[in-house]
Amino acid sequence: MTHSPILSAAGLTQSDLTGGTLAVRSPIDGAELARVAQTAAADMPAVIAHARAAFAEWRSVPAPRRGELVRLLGEELRASKAELGALVTLEVGKITSEGLGEVQEMIDICDFAVGLSRQLYGLTIASERPGHRMAETWHPMGPVGVISAFNFPVAVWSWNAALALVCGNPVIWKPSEKTPLTAMATMRIMERALARFGDAPEGLCQLVVGGPEVGAALVESRDVPILSATGSSRMGGIVGPKVSARWGRPILELGGNNAMIVAPSADLDMAVRAIVFGAVGTAGQRCTSLRRLIVHRSIREDLVARLTKAYASLPIGDPRAEGTLIGPLVDMASRDRMLAQLDRARAEGGVVHGGAAVTEGVPAGGAYVTPALVEMPAQTETVREETFAPILYVLSYDQFDEAIALQNEVPQGLSSCIFTLNLREAETFLSAAGSDCGIANVNIGPSGAEIGGAFGGEKETGGGRESGSDAWKGYMRRQTSTVNYSTRLPLAQGVRFDL
């Protein structure tokens, strides 16, 4: 078998790509890219023990020095951006610009984490007792298990790894079975950073490739105090309670069912661009993808007409080709699920525009579709589910309160947005009585968040926060310390206990 030059350019060797049992296919044409070796479940205790040994050293390395490793990782990622981006495109089917954007997201979080390595600030707290000082210190936790999904095969690891490493924690990564190659190439980049760093402990960053048994070993081990998992709400509903039951800390980033409210005052030209990117970008396979439009009845007809027009001219095809905006879905099973959901929506009274398999003018063997716009009479069961495909349901509203109620009335709570030029509506949407999501935007679509903010959402999205802001606190343990520098021993709350 001759391998794609993109694989060797990304540092993968013949022995990485052959002889294993896990077949990896490109969504572009369904062709087999490689057969990679899998980690045996029986090897997981040794992997975890290795990480624990690394932790014993790494936790005592000063945080700014730990930041130096992440700085080097950022440098190596910059040097390999084109090659890794091309591999993301090959293994996931993202268009070239989005493949590169994913690597940029990794570089950005490295930069953020380097600064953070000098800012793991605790508090000083006013003590009620004389001659006492109270403080809060943040300490490393231990190995972090990262279970990532196919759709952001490397960026989500980097959000977790960059923070975990500066926080003093080793990382064990189990990527999606659909995307081990980008993970292996990322580890090669990490190895270069480690070599330049010099004295990092062995076992600080490990990759395990395999199925649910490999993930289960991370989920179940008490030696993995933090388990960060990205994927479906169904998966998180199994993983989260298992981690909690053994007193571990789950960080869950699960399904989204992200909506946009389009108010009568909206700048419709801008809204149309945001809607199209949000709904069809990454072929609708972001957890932040736009899935529901809640449009004021007075502008619905106009907006749907503009959207159907915009949808009709979208270039669908090989994601490597310049000009393509919609690449393939990850596999045929995903396309089948999309088509089945559209049938359900029709049965619930939906009028479907688009949403068909495409076989002409696209590489054979890939799961290409026209994105679907579905006018729904109500927020039915199908609309309330996340389908990982470019389906956009259109609902209408008359009163603003109704729009907010519809936005919130789904099980998921990741991202949300409103297009309006009305200050009252915008601020109400962002208020305590507004969107119930982890992300709420005004005059911006729901996807494509910057790394500087905390990323994650509520309800069935799992409640986890990753990436920017103070998400780092999820990777550390907090210690409250009170020091008595006086010659007396007063008790708090004025309690007397005189011997």
Check residue 81 for interaction with ligand UN1 (CB under 6 A): no
Name which of residues 103 to 122 contact ligand UN1 (CB under 6 A): 105
User: Of 203 and 448, which has the nearer Cβ to ligand UN1?
Assistant: 448
**Residue in the structure block whose two tokens are 């999606």:** 176
DSSP code string of 357-382: EE-TTS-TTSBEE--EEEE-SS--HH
Q: Which residues pair with 258 in a beta bridge?
A: 290
At residue 152, φ and ψ (nearest 5 deg) are -125, 75
Among residues 71, 81, 286, 465, the one that binds ligand UN1 under rule CB under 6 A: 286
Residues serving a catalytic function are 253
Binder to ligand UN1 among 54, 287, 304, 330 (CB under 6 A)? 287
Question: Segment contacting ligand UN1 (CB under 6 A): 53-61, 281-289, 401-409, 471-479?
Answer: 281-289
Residue appearing with tokens 């076989």: 359
- Report the distance separating Cα 310 and Cα 319, nearest Å: 19
Among 58, 152, 157, 368, interactor with ligand UN1 by CB under 6 A: 152
Give the contacts of 18 (CB within 8 A, at least 6 positions apart): 1, 34, 35
DSSP state letters, 331-357:
-HHHHHHHHHHHHHHHHTT-EEEE--E
Cβ-count burial of 317 within 10 angstroms (0-12 exposed, 13-18 middle, 19+ buried)? buried
CB of 76 to ligand UN1, least distance (A): 21
The gap from C-alpha 51 to its chain's centroid, in whole angstroms, comes to 24
- The stretch among 31-39, 218-226, 280-288, 333-341 that binds ligand UN1 (CB under 6 A) is 280-288
Q: Based on CB atoms, which residue is closest to ligand UN1, 117 or 151? A: 151
Q: Which is nearer to ligand UN1, 255 or 363 (CB)?
A: 255
Task: Kindly state whether residue 412 participates in binding ligand UN1, applying the rule CB under 6 A.
Answer: no
Site string for ligand UN1, 3-22 (x = CB under 6 A): --------------------
When CB distances to ligand UN1 are compared, the closest residue is: 449
Q: How far is the CB of 416 from ligand UN1 (least distance, A)?
A: 12
Nearer to ligand UN1, 204 or 439 (CB): 439
For the purposes of burial, counting CB atoms within 10 Å of the CB of 9, is it exposed (0-12), middle (13-18) or buried (19 or more)?
A: middle
3-class DSSP state of 436: coil
Contacts of ligand UN1 in 20-79 (CB under 6 A): none
Q: Are 33 and 4 in contact (CB under 8 A)?
A: yes
Tell the smallest beta-carbon distance from residue 263 to ligand UN1 (Å). 23
The answer to whether residue 159 forms part of the interface with ligand UN1 (CB under 6 A) is: no
| Contact string (CB under 6 A) for ligand UN1, positions 187-226, x = contact | ----------------------------------------
**In angstroms, what is the minimal distance from the CB of 289 to ligand UN1?**
8
Residue 206 β-bridge partners = 172
Q: Measured at the alpha carbon of residue 71, what is the angle toward residues 62 and 152, in degrees to the nearest 5?
A: 115
How many residues touch ligand UN1 under the rule CB under 6 A: the total is 11
Residue ranges of alpha helices (H) inside 176-319 are 180-197, 212-220, 233-245, 268-280, 297-312
Listed ranges 182-190, 194-202, 218-226, 282-290: which one lies at the site for ligand UN1 (CB under 6 A): 282-290
> Buried (b) or exposed (e) across 408-439, using 16+ Cβ within 10 A?
bebebbbbbbbbbeeeebbebbeeeebbbbbb
Q: Which of 230/428 has CB closer to ligand UN1?
A: 230
Contact 120, 472 (CB under 8 A): yes
Which region, judged by CB under 6 A, interacts with ligand UN1, from 150-158, 198-206, 237-245, 491-499?
Answer: 150-158
230 part of the interface to ligand UN1, by CB under 6 A: yes
Residue 194 DSSP SS3: helix
Type of residue numbered 14: Q
288 binds ligand UN1 (CB under 6 A): yes
Angle between the N-to-C axes of helices 423-430 and 400-408, in degrees from 0 to 180, rounded to the nearest 10: 30
Q: Quick one: which segment of 107-115, 126-134, 283-291, 339-347 binds ligand UN1 (CB under 6 A)?
A: 283-291
Q: How far apart are CA 190 and CA 75, in angstroms?
A: 10
CB of 138 or CB of 152, closer to ligand UN1: 152
Using CB under 6 A as the binding rule, the residues of this chain from 438 to 497 that contact ligand UN1 are 447-449
- Interaction of residue 158 with ligand UN1, rule CB under 6 A: no
Least distance (Å) between residue 222 CB and ligand UN1? 28
Gap between the Cα atoms of 322 and 317, Å rounded: 10
- Contacts (CB under 6 A) with ligand UN1, residues 297-356: none
Shortest Å, Cβ 151 to ligand UN1? 5
Interacting residues toward ligand UN1 by CB under 6 A? 105, 151-152, 156, 230, 286-288, 447-449
